[in-house]
Amino acid sequence: MRNLTHWHPSYLVGLSRHCGLYLTLVLLMASPALAQSVRIPVTQPITPAHSLLQSVVPAIVQAKKGVIRTARTRYRYQLVGLNQGWGITEWSLHHYSLFITVQPPWWRSWWAWLGYALLAAGSGWAVNRYRSRRQQDKQRMQQQEAEQLRQIDELKTRFFSNITHDLLTPLTLILGSSVGLISELGQSQYGERLRFIERNAQHLLTLINQLMDLSRLDANRTTLDLVRGQPDQVVGGVVDNFADVAAESYISLTYQTETTATYWFDADKLARITTNLLDNAIKFTPSTATAPGQITVLLRANTPMQQPGLYLSVTDTGIGIDSAHFPHLLNRFYRVDTPAPSPGSGIGLALVNELIELHGGTIDVDSQVGQGTTFHVFLPCQLDEPYAPGTTNTRVTTNSDAAVDSPPEPVRVLLVEDNEDMAQFIALSFPDHYQLYRASDGEAGLIQANHLLPDLIISDVMMPGMDGFTFCERIKSDPVTDHIPVLLLTAKSTLADRMHGLQLGADDYLSKPFHVPELLARINNLLTRQRRYSERVQAVLAGPAPVPNEPAPPPVHPFIQRLHTVLDEHLDQTDFGVDELAAAVHLSRMQLHRKLKALTDSSTTEFIRSYRLTQSLALLTSGVPVAQAAYAVGFTNPAYFSQRFREQFGKVPSSYLPE
């Protein structure tokens, strides 16, 4: 070895040198390939004046110092905005800063966002314009269709008006001629045929009127005519009109009402709705004397959902309707194939539906084949304010109120005669305002008398089985039928026979052979006497009640006295009504109605109300306040009590109070 360098460790002195820094390499995404575009040559160190522009991708910055040996070199670094402090490796005292400006990519630049906003605004405008044009086109088409429908309705209404006018003119001539011929030839062999013509002409007139109503509804020419009144009276009047028809068909017709309040409603349309529903119920409820049908009419103040208005239901025990027909049941001219003897025309229910929709109401149906049908009707209407003195009262006119202007009700006569020729002769002898019912023997006559409660009974004496004398005795001993006048016809003209019949309760006696004018005269006398009797009873009942400590006048009829006794026991019970009174005297609702109609010429509801008002007179004259007297006789509303009191007695209740 020529040269040998050696030193002692104790002679070594540490060298401290602070070197300068410069950047030699910048890598994007730690990839040298990507870093080629931003590589800084080593021969040109980056000074603090340099800055680096890059996109959002991260970069790795590598720095070196200008020394030969770097094993012991330490660094401190910090990326401002990312690191909270300095990271320490091998470091030197020098520091170096590089400003890096991060630019977003082109799809996140400001001009890109502006383009996005303009594109969204343009798309929204285009979509909105497209929808607006579609809506305008749709509205224009709807207006055109509505105009076409209006023109069609106008043409249809004009057509119905013209054709009904053309039909009504000859129909009026047919009706007028048939009525005139019936009055002249009603007792001849052509009388029944003429009555058949008259009945069918009336039916045709009803159908024409229904078609006219539908055409008016289509043309929006029908509006609600609201009046102030009590809907229960309107519905009750319709039910009473159907009582005879139901009785002839052996159908028990029941009316239940849970409201006597005053409403603003269209009385005519409510009556037409009830009439059509009842007509359908009777038409599709087959019944016989041994298997009678049942129809129930219910009216209450509101629906189970407590919506303001009236709820009306008509339930029958008829043939029912299959559920497959429900969606089309209310369509015009839709008819269900049924075994009914007189199928419907498909107009009545459609008219009912139109009238209900005019009210803004609803109609639903529940039915089971072979078990019956129930129609549920809801009509929105407003309750009237309580009655106050001085308030104008627009009273709804019902059938009972319009008795003066309406034609007289037909006289129902039951003929009990076993001889067919004699029965036919008597039937042909009656004028057209008589309705004749026939029974071939006494047993059948008793059944029909209890079921129909006719205005008059004509019975033969000599009949197989139960003779006329026994029949008359049974009629006069039954509280249900004891008020019915009985005229006996017999060939037994001896004084003993006549006395025997009269002692059994017969009201008159006519020997065979007889003349028809004499028979009609005797019938007219019996009916006139019965009518005068009912007027006298009604006058007594409408008079003031006896004051305390004074004897009461004798009752005009035992049955009336019995009703008064029952009412006295329940006088303060507001819920004691027609059904409860009928049950207390062991009669059906219809039987009680007809019996009271014959005895007092008033309905059961009017009879109960009149008696309550009459009893209140004694309380008022003794100093009981008006409200307390109203509650004591079963009224729930003193204002309504005052209204009815003034209608019956012509004075307000307070005028009877002692000064």
Q: For 309-329, how does the pLDDT look when each residue is reduced to its tens digit (9 = 90+)? A: 888 999 988 888 877 767 767
Q: Are residues 374 and 433 in the same domain?
A: no
Q: Based on the fold, state whether residues 367 and 443 are members of the same structural domain.
A: no
- 113: domain CATH number is 1.10.287
Q: With 80 as the cut, is the pLDDT of residue 110 above it?
A: yes
Cβ pair 157, 219 in contact under 8 A: yes
CA distance 169 to 606: 41
DSSP state, residue 325: G
- Is 582 a domain residue? yes
Q: Which residue has the higher pLDDT, 208 or 417?
A: 417
122 plus 261 within the same structural domain: no
Within 8 A by CB and 6+ apart from 114, the residues are: none
pLDDT value of position 297: 92
Q: Are residues 246 and 374 in the same domain?
A: yes
Rounded to 10 degrees, what is the CA torsion of 557, 562, 563, 566?
Answer: 160
- For 323, which DSSP code? G
CB-based contacts of 570-574 (< 8 A; 24+ apart in sequence): 570/634, 571/612, 571/615, 571/632, 571/633, 571/634, 572/631, 572/632, 572/633, 572/634, 573/634, 574/634, 574/635, 574/636
pLDDT at residue 120 is higher than 60: yes
Per-residue DSSP letter, 186: T
- Does some domain include residue 297? yes
- Co-location of 492 and 616 in the same domain: no
In-domain check, residue 161: yes
- Token pair, residue 457, equals 């009974």
Q: What is the pLDDT of residue 65?
A: 43
Q: How many whole angstroms separate alpha carbon 208 and alpha carbon 201?
A: 11
Instruction: Clarify whether residues 527 and 564 are in a common domain.
Output: no
Residue 1 lies in a domain: no
Least confident of 68-72, 417-421, 489-493, 518-522: 68-72
Same domain, yes or no: 121 and 87:
no
* Tokens 């029941």 found at: 254
Q: Range with the lowest mean pLDDT among 24-38, 118-132, 198-212?
A: 24-38
Per-residue confidence (pLDDT) for residue 68, from 0 to 100:
41
The whole-angstrom separation of Cα 654 and Cα 624 is 10
Provide the domain count of the chain: 5
Q: How far apart are CA 574 and CA 580, in angstroms?
A: 11
Domain assignment present for 321? yes
| Domain stops at, among 103, 125, 157 | 103
pLDDT value, residue 89: 56
Could you tell me if 214 and 251 lie in one domain? no
Is 174 contained in some domain?
yes
State the pLDDT at residue 125.
93
Whole-number pLDDT of residue 54: 45
Rounded mean pLDDT, 485-495: 73
pLDDT at 118 over 90: yes
Instruction: State both tokens at 267.
Output: 């009385």
Residue with more model confidence, 324 or 56:
324
Contact 238, 275 (CB under 8 A): yes
CA–CA dist 269, 253 (Å, integer): 21
| Closest by CA position to 638, among listed 621, 624, 618 | 624
Residue type, 584: A
Assess if residue 396 is contained within a domain: no
Answer yes or no: do 370 and 502 share one domain: no
Q: Given this model, what pLDDT does residue 14 score?
A: 54
The token pair at 220 is 């929006």
pLDDT value, residue 354: 82
Q: Which residue type sits at 495?
A: L
Percent of the chain whose pLDDT exceeds 70: 66
Considering 535, 552, 576, which residue would you say is the last residue of a domain? Answer: 535
Chain position carrying tokens 């409200």:
627
So what's the pLDDT on residue 263? 82
Q: Which of 534, 533, 443, 457 is nearest to 501 (CA)?
A: 457
Query: Which CATH number fits the domain that encloses residue 583?
Result: 1.10.10.60
pLDDT at 630 over 80: yes
Query: Is 601 a residue whose pLDDT tops 50?
Result: yes
Of the ranges 26-40, 222-236, 535-549, which one carries the lowest mean pLDDT score?
26-40
Asked if 420 and 372 sit in the same domain, the reply is: no
**Mean pLDDT throughout 477-491?**
82
Quick one: tokens of 358?
């005019």
Q: Say yes or no: 562 and 422 in one domain.
A: no
**By the 8 A CB rule, do 570 and 564 touch?**
no
Query: What is the tens place of the pLDDT at every residue in 453-464?
Result: 888 999 888 788
Q: Looking at the domain assignment, is residue 92 inside a domain?
A: yes
Phi, psi of 365, deg, nearest 5: -135, 135
Boundary of a domain, candidates 507, 535, 563 = 535
Burial (Cβ within 10 Å: 0-12, 13-18, ≥19) of residue 241 = middle
User: Which whole number is the average pLDDT over 400-422?
Assistant: 64
Across the range 5-32, mean pLDDT stands at: 57
Running DSSP on this structure, what letter comes out for residue 334? -
Mean pLDDT, rounded, for 211-240? 75
Q: Which pLDDT band, with edges at 50, 70 and 90, does 399 fall under?
A: very low
**Domain identity same for 498 and 554:** no
Lowest mean pLDDT: which of 90-104, 558-572, 593-607? 90-104
pTM: 0.38
Q: Quick count: other Cβ atoms within 10 Å of Cβ 397?
A: 16
The Cα 100–Cα 55 span in angstroms is 10
Q: What range defines the domain where residue 86 resides? A: 18-103
Contact partners, residue 295, CB within 8 Å, separation at least 6: 246, 251, 252, 253, 254, 278, 281, 282, 285, 314, 315, 316, 317
